[in-house]
Amino acid sequence: MSPIKFTIEKELSGTLARAGVITTPHGDIQTPAFVTVGTKATVKALTPEHVKGLGAQVVLANTYHLYLEPGEKIMREAGGLHNFMNWQGPTMTDSGGFQVFSLGAAFNAKVGKLSKVAQEEMTIPEEVDEEDKAGKLAKIDEDGVTFKSYKDGSEHRFTPERSIEIQHAIGADMIFVFDECTSPMASYEYQRKAMERTHRWAKRCLEFHEESKLQNEKQGLFGIVQGGRHRDLREESARVLGAMDFAGYGIGGSFDKDDMDKAVGWVNAILPKEKPRHLLGIGEPIDLFGAVENGCDLFDCVAPTRMARNGSLHTSDGRININNARFASDFGPIDSACDCYTCKNYTRAYLSHLFRSHEMLAGTLASVHNLHFIISLVEKMRTAIFDGTFEQLKTEFIAQYYKK
Amino acid sequence: MSPIKFTIEKELSGTLARAGVITTPHGDIQTPAFVTVGTKATVKALTPEHVKGLGAQVVLANTYHLYLEPGEKIMREAGGLHNFMNWQGPTMTDSGGFQVFSLGAAFNAKVGKLSKVAQEEMTIPEEVDEEDKAGKLAKIDEDGVTFKSYKDGSEHRFTPERSIEIQHAIGADMIFVFDECTSPMASYEYQRKAMERTHRWAKRCLEFHEESKLQNEKQGLFGIVQGGRHRDLREESARVLGAMDFAGYGIGGSFDKDDMDKAVGWVNAILPKEKPRHLLGIGEPIDLFGAVENGCDLFDCVAPTRMARNGSLHTSDGRININNARFASDFGPIDSACDCYTCKNYTRAYLSHLFRSHEMLAGTLASVHNLHFIISLVEKMRTAIFDGTFEQLKTEFIAQYYKK
């Protein structure tokens, strides 16, 4: 019996949007909600108090990264992710599928470039669109995937069961099935083949998870809908997985930016309404509006924190690069409409100084701001669903943010 | 009229040690106290809330670094250091003397190596022990020093008056005279010559500071005793500067490690008792005991935070290197006798993971711990002065910390 419950509190007529509450063993999540990424059991540059203070409700860690370092044994002995990282709120882990394919490939393909990115956080799969090609890099077979560590080239193997086993050791409240992530450039035939295998793997994950009665009561398993940009595949994937008793659903894979809203809509029109839906890897404001409107409840993305560490900061009037010379003597806050810790206490001039001086506090203050900006934007969408003002919020926000 | 007041609350008989309170426009400092270093208007890796939470009473920023970046104009327009960095407690700035000589030299001498260190924080002067030599690097004359920026090689000039002017712009509660820092290897003749010039510069700093009635009421100026390792010079410097009406005194320059306690004792036996004394650049536990016993009230050092960022952590049983493999599965706190935020909430295994993963939180948690360790050690010395148990504390601490 999954410990994850979802209650819809309000639906926005004429759209698929809904506001609700996800109940987890570590507290509730008011949805729609942006999920903060803490890849290696830490939200980069922030303490858990910062994370909580900026309004984050839930943290997503990464199975692939935690499997390689510190390893599942340490995660288990530590009493799981919550204890290890000192975050007592709700948590998730992704299954490692995306990383196994993208980083496993990267190691052989372009280790120099990609393993640097990987060290920092994560990357986008390149040219792993055909099994033939992927076969040379991360070897896929019906049972699982053999891949090389991006850290030292050592060989490892994930199967659906192993991924779930590792996620049991990590112990997040919400976990994901092990799926095959295809490239948006993959052929229709390959997308179908990969999707069908992903469905078989999803079933194996679910069975393995349900067999562990103890973990099944502590952790909820999410399926992941695949199918690329093809409507028939997306709908088939939503039907097949929707018929299995998952605690919730991830929507994975790459879409064309322009097709994303539509594709999400196809999927969410079919997925069981009473289960939460997590759109994986989305963090751009306009995409968040589209995803909420089309029935998604959760989103995660490394963009707010990664951008922050590079000095790219969200404001109501669009993004600014704090390294720009004009900010060195600007004594206003990053965004005068923002009430985050950084905007209440520090000026653009100070941030600018910290970035130019390569001070660690730069990344901390910028991450607090960017995460707060995105998290509170999604909170505003939630409020607007209740108030029936979603369309107005969307129109006004987008006009101001993207005006330039 | 200096706004800095010092009240001695208790003296430890048979020693020069005393416990007291320094009153500043931004609050009181219970002494003896370890001063936290925030070189570039930030304590590296920490927010001001961390700094306050770990028990720091006062932050020391650096005139040389803030002059180069963001510059005195920005510091003034920001409303001074307190506003700029969001630290509302007491602050100090050193005069930039040490940096002008060490980094000015470094730029010409070994720019590759030293400017990297300098970027990180600060360095030790190398081979600037003779005026002839120093003349080629940072040019000293009776009026001041011409030096090159460690950042870009651009030429700059500090005089005693300019240093004070910049320190007025930065606006710390306690500021220091501009002195010449000599190498411990310098000859007696050069030490004397440099000391006598430092005395003339001290007088000029004091006159310049007193002429600015407004700043004189807001900021207290500290003289700096020099004289190297020579008793007659140290005593002469203490007498000459002690006769000028400074708000307090710094004790600068390098000593032989073994001579330090003695040299500090020579100086403090002469300096006016009713003024606070700051031993510059000291942070090793055994040195702090010696300095307190010999009449110092304040100390600062980058060591606790710099060591922390490298994974070298204080414990009651001495230092450990958290990168050591055995800590990867050690689920105890860094120091079971420590009550800092890090020790209360995180394990050695987690710290170990963060360091191996190059996560920024590693530096934050380690800095909180090391600073708390040193700050609370000095607090314990204060309590022991009141209780008459100083000698016992010293004996027990040293036996346990240095036992290996």
pLDDT of residue A270: 98
Where are any strands of DSSP class E within A180-324? 220-225, 248-251, 277-279, 298-300, 312-315, 318-321
pLDDT of residue A94: 94
Of A94, A287, A297, A335, which is the active-site residue? A94
- Judged by CB atoms closer than 8 Å, whether chains meet at B40 and A360 is answered as no
- Judged by CB atoms closer than 8 Å, whether chains meet at A44 and B359 is answered as yes
* Amino acid, single-letter form, for residue A89: G
- Judged by CB atoms closer than 8 Å, whether chains meet at B328 and A353 is answered as no
Where are any strands of DSSP class E within B72-112? 91-94
Dihedral sign of CA atoms A164, A165, A168, A169 in order: negative
- A69 to chain B: which residues are within 8 Å by CB? 353, 356-357
* Residues of chain A that touch chain B, judged by Cβ-Cβ distance less than 8 Å: 40-42, 44-47, 50, 69-70, 73-74, 77-78, 84-86, 119, 328-329, 331, 345-347, 349-350, 352-354, 356-361, 363-365
Which residues touch A163 (CB under 8 Å, ≥6 apart)? Answer: A63, A95, A96, A97, A177, A178, A205
- B78 to chain A: which residues are within 8 Å by CB? 331, 347, 349-350
Q: Minimal Cα distance from A40: which residue of B?
A: B357
The β-bridge partners of B156 are B147
CATH fold for the domain made of A5-92+157-300: TIM Barrel (3.20.20)
- A349 to chain B: which residues are within 8 Å by CB? 70, 74, 77-78, 84
* Residues of chain B that touch chain A, judged by Cβ-Cβ distance less than 8 Å: 40-42, 44-47, 50, 69-70, 73-74, 77-78, 84-86, 119, 328-329, 331, 345-347, 349-350, 352-354, 356-361, 363-365
DSSP letter (8 states) at residue B349: H
Q: Which pairing describes strands A27-31 and A18-24: parallel, antiparallel, or unpaired?
A: antiparallel
Calculate how close chain B gets to A273, using CA atoms only, in Å. 39
* Amino acid, single-letter form, for residue A295: G
> Could you tell me if A99 and A138 are in contact, meaning their C-beta atoms sit under 8 angstroms apart?
no
- A353 to chain B: which residues are within 8 Å by CB? 40-41, 69-70, 74, 84
Calculate how close chain B gets to A94, using CA atoms only, in Å. 19
Q: With a cut of 0.90, is the ipTM above it?
A: yes
Structure tokens that stand for A75 in this block: 């995660």
Q: Minimal Cα distance from A332: which residue of B?
A: B78
- B45 to chain A: which residues are within 8 Å by CB? 360-361
- A-B C-beta contacts closer than 8 Å: 103
Q: For residue range B103-154, what is the model confidence (pLDDT) as tens digits?
A: 765 444 332 223 333 333 433 343 344 444 444 567 889 999 998 888 888 8
Mean pLDDT of B324-332: 98
Structure tokens that stand for B208 in this block: 């310049």
Where are any strands of DSSP class E within A194-302? 220-225, 248-251, 277-279, 298-300
Nearest to B229 by CA among B276, B183, B298: B183
Q: For residue range A331-376, what is the model confidence (pLDDT) as tens digits?
A: 999 999 999 999 999 999 999 999 999 999 999 999 999 999 999 9
Interface residue of B360, B368, B369 to substitute, partner A, most A CBs within 10 Å: B360
The residue ranges of chain A whose pLDDT is under 70 are 104-137, 254-255, 404
Rounded CA-CA distance A399/A8 in Å is 30
pLDDT of residue B230: 92
Q: Minimal Cα distance from A78: which residue of B?
A: B331
Name the residue among B69, B85, B354 with its Cβ closest to that of A356.
Answer: B69
- A45 to chain B: which residues are within 8 Å by CB? 360-361
pLDDT of residue A323: 98
Q: Which pairing describes strands B298-300 and B33-37: parallel, antiparallel, or unpaired?
A: parallel
pLDDT of residue A404: 63
Dihedral sign of CA atoms B205, B207, B211, B217 in order: positive
Q: Quick check: B266 pLDDT over 90?
A: yes
- Judged by CB atoms closer than 8 Å, whether chains meet at B69 and A357 is answered as yes
Percent of chain B with pLDDT over 90: 81
Instruction: Collapse the DSSP code of B15 into the 3-class scheme (helix H, G, I; strand E, B; otherwise coil) and give the result.
Output: coil
Rounded CA-CA distance A343/A369 in Å is 7
The hierarchical CATH code for the domain B5-301 is: 3.20.20.105
- Judged by CB atoms closer than 8 Å, whether chains meet at B359 and A70 is answered as no
Structure tokens that stand for B110 in this block: 């070994």
Structure tokens that stand for A59 in this block: 């943290």
Catalytically annotated residues of B: 94, 300
> Could you tell me if A375 and A56 are in contact, meaning their C-beta atoms sit under 8 angstroms apart?
yes
Q: Quick check: B265 pLDDT over 70?
A: yes
User: What residue segments make up the domains of chain B, in order of their start?
Assistant: 5-301, 311-401
- B69 to chain A: which residues are within 8 Å by CB? 353, 356-357
DSSP letter (8 states) at residue B199: H
Rounded CA-CA distance A378/A117 in Å is 28
Calculate how close chain A gets to B330, using CA atoms only, in Å. 9
Structure tokens that stand for A145 in this block: 């995937």
Name the residue among A45, A328, A354 with its Cβ closest to that of B42.
Answer: A354
Mean pLDDT value across chain B: 91
Instruction: Collapse the DSSP code of A124 into the 3-class scheme (helix H, G, I; strand E, B; otherwise coil) and give the result.
Output: coil
